Structure 1
Amino acid sequence: MSTQAQSTTQELETRLAEISLDIERQKEVQEGLERNKKLVQRQLNALRDPVARLPLELSSEIFLQCLSQWHNPRPGAHSAPMLFLNICTAWTNIAVSLPALWDTIVIHLPCATGFEEGLDRWLRRAGGRSLHISLHGTIEPDVAACIWRYAASMKSLDIISFENEDVPVDGDIHHWQLLGGTMPQESLPRLQKLRIRGAYEDAICSWTPVLQLLQLSPNLVDLRLENMTFGDADDLDEDLVLPNLRQLKYTGYGLDGGLEGNTLCWLSAPSLESITVSPSIFEDTEPDAISSFLERSSPPLRELKMSRLSGPQDFTWLETCLTLSPIAGLNHFDVATPLPRVLDRFLTILEQPPSSALPALQTVILRRVHLDPDYFPAHYWNRLARALTSRRSQLRTVRVILSDEEWPLSQEIRGQFAGLLEDGMQVYIGAEGFGGKNLLLPQS
């Protein structure tokens, strides 16, 4: 290459380097302008945004009001509180600095890959507040492990299982893994409410993880096991005492050879005030499990609710249960779909003087009563009216919820209850709900 050619090449390379340097400088200038533009835009948005101009206390309260009692906070970009993060920087700053926005979450499973990272950020923003967590579906181990990192802050835990193609199947029985097969490594000192609900009748859950959760929850106040059928578990060395439990709901389905009949036999709840139970969970096992539980716990029971009583053992159990000493303070009795023999047992007790049976009873509710003579013969009205009359100074509310609101009441039946209504007792016979009409009153 000639000397002239070499000189020309060097000049071009130098020029190219200068142009590239100018381009980089222009990029830096442009990036600086973009940053300034965003800064000015944020300042302008702040001036235009009424929320950003408010004191932090007021804007925070507005955000909190978006989480009404009907709203279930979910980790979605189009619902609060995640929605606040997608509006502007000012809203983001307000939202992430407000722990009360993040102490409740409803999670529908299964989740997308990597969901646990976002879940961890959500729960971290709660800043140590008491957590309320609801899990719907088949719980994945990674999600459960993330939740257990915040076990010490958990105040309520709601688990609802749904049938899923990933649930192992054994014949016609569906087994589901509670909590994804994981358990917390520390106690749950703040946990006050635990609800575990099955979504289909033939789902079986091992009792062991439930038992472990109860053992880790010394301050549990409200326990609800709904539509549950439990498989076997290891026997306890000693009774499990839940000293602060005040509400217990236990409904489900019987399982031959299962643990249902013994579930309440090892549990003690000395502070229990309300129990809701379906005797179907004791089929083929021990009909006196509830009676034994109440005698052992000796709780200050105030409310007893039961679903349909149908088996012969239920009738004897009802009469035995309602005469136990822990029932002496009962003021609210509620039974659904009572069959004739159940009504016979109950009315026999109610007809006794208050001093000898249910002396504190104030409210009686009979739900889904069939007025068909085979279920509710006419003489039951006479017996019920007489029993209520003998307890008119004690009872305050009596509701007979009919299965068919179209059944009429005769003038004779209305007359039997007229005096009670005049005395101020709230007696209602009719359909359930706000639209129901009291058939004891004249219809307009």
Structure 2
Amino acid sequence: MSSAAAFIVGLREHIDDLAATIQLQELLLCDLKEEQRRARKHLNSFVDPMARLPVELLSEIFTLCVSGVARPRINCCEAPMSLLQVCQSWRDVALAIPNLWTRLRVEGLPCRDEFVDMCTAWIGRAKGKPISLSLSGVLNISRNVRRLLDVCGRQLHELSLELQDQGLLDQRIDLQGATFPSLRTLVLKSASRITPICTPKDSVELLRAAPALSECYFHGMRYSRIGFGEGYISPLTHTSLTTLHLGHPEDADVEISKNSAVVLKYLTLPALRDLLVTELDISESETISFFTRSSPPLYRLELIIKEHTASMNWGPGTLAQCLQVIPTLEELRVSGPGCASALLVLMINERILPNLRHLTLWPCSPQRADYALVLALLRSRSTVESFKFMLGSSWPHDEDVFALRELADGRGIDIHVGPFGINYIDLRIKLISVIWDHTNLEWQRFVVWGAWTHSVF
């Protein structure tokens, strides 16, 4: 062997020896670091009382840290992320508690893939438990939104989307082929006052992608008229949905709400028990068709009927035909001008809604209440437990007050007549009792108080 070849062989052997020595030193360094960690932990057990807490108790404390937060955010200053920054033992405990990581709120989804990776790591710590995810703000990065939803996979049980003015839903979130097999609750909110958020097709396809869905809330939605054609949307029979809110009860005070009942034209919901609709923009026949083909065990129904709904052939009398199709109804709330008196007349007949227990009528406009009809209804309905007539300018006469109070006391019915938070019946009873108890005392003072009360209400 030449001297050059021998030199090369020797140099390679020397490199191998150095590599082996480096590997040995690295192992020794790891051992030293582990020894250092154990020593610090041992020291903490003497000088830090928190370090002496049992793991079970520490886990309970960590759980309480996030119990008051609807959905925690990825923020190093907030729990549970802040728990990872204290020490290694706290980090180990926090990462070993799946319930700390089952809820997540993302306020705007950045373009950076690293943020989605952080969300993926968060969801992985839940170790397969059901995930509650909330996305709000700027969600125009369709690829990242879909990627995050896919990461949740079968773990996704609750999903809340709060959308800004950014165009239609399908332009922001790619839902093509999406499936949410374990999703139980869906909330879709809109912060837009003008821009349409989605088409009826978007709403129907969201429901189609979640066959196990039981609760669905569409709040503040504005629908684009794109895709309103009958043949454009494939009808859907959803057998799990029990609660559907097309709007929010606060929309009763809005002249033109931002929700729509048009999706009911394409849905059959045989398990539906709770329905709220704030914009009846479908005809009477289409509504009756929905209830007839669904034949749901409906327990609660709330309808907000606007004045412009008359253009859809809606009226106080036609509502009775819908009510006859849902005899299981126990709780009914109807808001709208002109509906109160007609409903009172109709429901004196016990064959309409025979199981009715709770009735709220909110005319949404000043009108004089017909208390003879109210009394007739309450006397004919042995099942009624509460009755609310939300009026602002219809003060009952004394004889009506006594009759209603007699019903309330005799049958235990909760009766409210007047605006929200003020019951005229209770007020008048209190004033009458003042007259009775103090007829000869401070009469002038009572007259002033009574006049002030009427002027306020």
Does TM-score exceed 0.5, indicating one fold?
yes
Deviation of residue 300 (structure 1)? 0.7
Deviation of residue 201 (structure 1)? 2.9
Whether 1:301 and 2:302 are equivalent positions in the alignment is: no
Whether 1:77 and 2:79 are equivalent positions in the alignment is: no
Deviation of residue 119 (structure 1)? 0.8
Whether 1:390 and 2:417 are equivalent positions in the alignment is: no
Identify the residue that residue 117 of structure 1 maps to in structure 2. Answer: 117
Identify the residue that residue 154 of structure 1 maps to in structure 2. Answer: 156
Deviation of residue 431 (structure 1)? 4.4
Deviation of residue 188 (structure 1)? 1.8
Given that residues 109 and 138 in structure 2 are in contact (C-alpha distance below 8 angstroms), is that contact kept between their aligned partners in structure 1?
yes
Q: Which 10-residue stretch deviates more, 135-144 or 181-190?
A: 181-190
Aligned length: 382
Name the amino acid aligned to 1:440.
I
Name the amino acid aligned to 1:73.
P
Identify the residue that residue 106 of structure 2 maps to in structure 1. Answer: 107
> How do residues 110-149 of structure 1 correspond to structure 2 at under 5 angstroms?
110-111=109-110, 113=112, 114-139=114-139, 140-141=141-142, 142-149=144-151
Whether 1:246 and 2:242 are equivalent positions in the alignment is: yes
Given that residues 362 and 390 in structure 2 are in contact (C-alpha distance below 8 angstroms), is that contact kept between their aligned partners in structure 1?
yes
CA separation of 1:55 and 1:288: change in aligned 2, threshold 3 A: farther
Identify the residue that residue 408 of structure 2 maps to in structure 1. Answer: 421
In the alignment, which of 285, 289, 293 is matched to residue 292 of structure 1? 289
Could you say what secondary structure the match of 2:135 adopts? Answer: strand
CA separation of 1:69 and 1:314: change in aligned 2, threshold 3 A: farther
Identify the residue that residue 26 of structure 1 maps to in structure 2. Answer: none
In the alignment, which of 423, 437, 447 is matched to residue 438 of structure 1? 423
Could you say what secondary structure the match of 1:388 adopts? Answer: helix
Q: Which 10-residue stretch deviates more, 134-143 or 265-274?
A: 134-143
Given that residues 279 and 307 in structure 1 are in contact (C-alpha distance below 8 angstroms), is that contact kept between their aligned partners in structure 2?
yes
Name the amino acid aligned to 1:133.
L
Residues 38-92 of structure 1: CA deviation (Å, up to 9, x unaligned): 6533433344444443333322122112222554311111211111112221111
Could you say what secondary structure the match of 2:133 adopts? Answer: strand
Identify the residue that residue 190 of structure 1 maps to in structure 2. Answer: 182
CA distance in 1 between partners of 2:290 and 2:240 (Å): 16
Could you say what secondary structure the match of 2:389 adopts? Answer: strand
Deviation of residue 190 (structure 1)? 1.0
Could you say what secondary structure the match of 1:279 adopts? Answer: coil
Identify the residue that residue 401 of structure 1 maps to in structure 2. Answer: 390
| Structure 2: gaps (5+ residues) | 1-27, 252-258, 432-457
Deviation of residue 420 (structure 1)? 1.0
Richer in strand (by share): 1
Given that residues 382 and 416 in structure 1 are in contact (C-alpha distance below 8 angstroms), is that contact kept between their aligned partners in structure 2?
no
Could you say what secondary structure the match of 2:390 adopts? Answer: strand
Name the amino acid aligned to 2:246.
Y
Name the amino acid aligned to 2:324.
T
Name the amino acid aligned to 1:398.
F
Could you say what secondary structure the match of 2:61 adopts? Answer: helix
Residues 164-185 of structure 1: CA deviation (Å, up to 9, x unaligned): xxx2xxxxxxx23358332375
Given that residues 369 and 400 in structure 1 are in contact (C-alpha distance below 8 angstroms), is that contact kept between their aligned partners in structure 2?
no
Identify the residue that residue 376 of structure 1 maps to in structure 2. Answer: 367
Identify the residue that residue 224 of structure 1 maps to in structure 2. Answer: 217
Given that residues 283 and 314 in structure 2 are in contact (C-alpha distance below 8 angstroms), is that contact kept between their aligned partners in structure 1?
no
In the alignment, which of 359, 365, 370 is matched to residue 364 of structure 1? 359
CA separation of 1:132 and 1:317: change in aligned 2, threshold 3 A: farther
User: What RMSD over aligned residues (CA atoms) do the two structures have, in Å?
Assistant: 3.1
Given that residues 318 and 345 in structure 1 are in contact (C-alpha distance below 8 angstroms), is that contact kept between their aligned partners in structure 2?
no
CA distance in 1 between partners of 2:45 and 2:162 (Å): 43
Identify the residue that residue 24 of structure 1 maps to in structure 2. Answer: none
Given that residues 200 and 262 in structure 2 are in contact (C-alpha distance below 8 angstroms), is that contact kept between their aligned partners in structure 1?
no
Name the amino acid aligned to 2:138.
T
CA distance in 1 between partners of 2:136 and 2:371 (Å): 45
Deviation of residue 226 (structure 1)? 1.8
Name the amino acid aligned to 2:244.
L
Given that residues 240 and 267 in structure 1 are in contact (C-alpha distance below 8 angstroms), is that contact kept between their aligned partners in structure 2?
yes
Could you say what secondary structure the match of 2:67 adopts? Answer: coil
Given that residues 348 and 376 in structure 2 are in contact (C-alpha distance below 8 angstroms), is that contact kept between their aligned partners in structure 1?
yes
Could you say what secondary structure the match of 2:287 adopts? Answer: helix
Residues 386-418 of structure 1: CA deviation (Å, up to 9, x unaligned): 211221x210111233458xx754423312312
CA distance in 1 between partners of 2:360 and 2:90 (Å): 50
CA distance in 2 between partners of 1:290 and 1:49 (Å): 67
CA distance in 1 between partners of 2:292 and 2:390 (Å): 31
CA separation of 1:94 and 1:262: change in aligned 2, threshold 3 A: same
Q: Which 10-residue stretch deviates more, 136-145 or 415-424?
A: 136-145
Identify the residue that residue 195 of structure 2 maps to in structure 1. Answer: 203
Identify the residue that residue 215 of structure 1 maps to in structure 2. Answer: 208
Q: Which 10-residue stretch deviates more, 184-193 or 120-129?
A: 184-193
Name the amino acid aligned to 1:364.
L
| Structure 1: gaps (5+ residues) | 1-28, 168-174, 254-258
Percent identity of equivalent pairs? 23
CA separation of 1:123 and 1:351: change in aligned 2, threshold 3 A: same
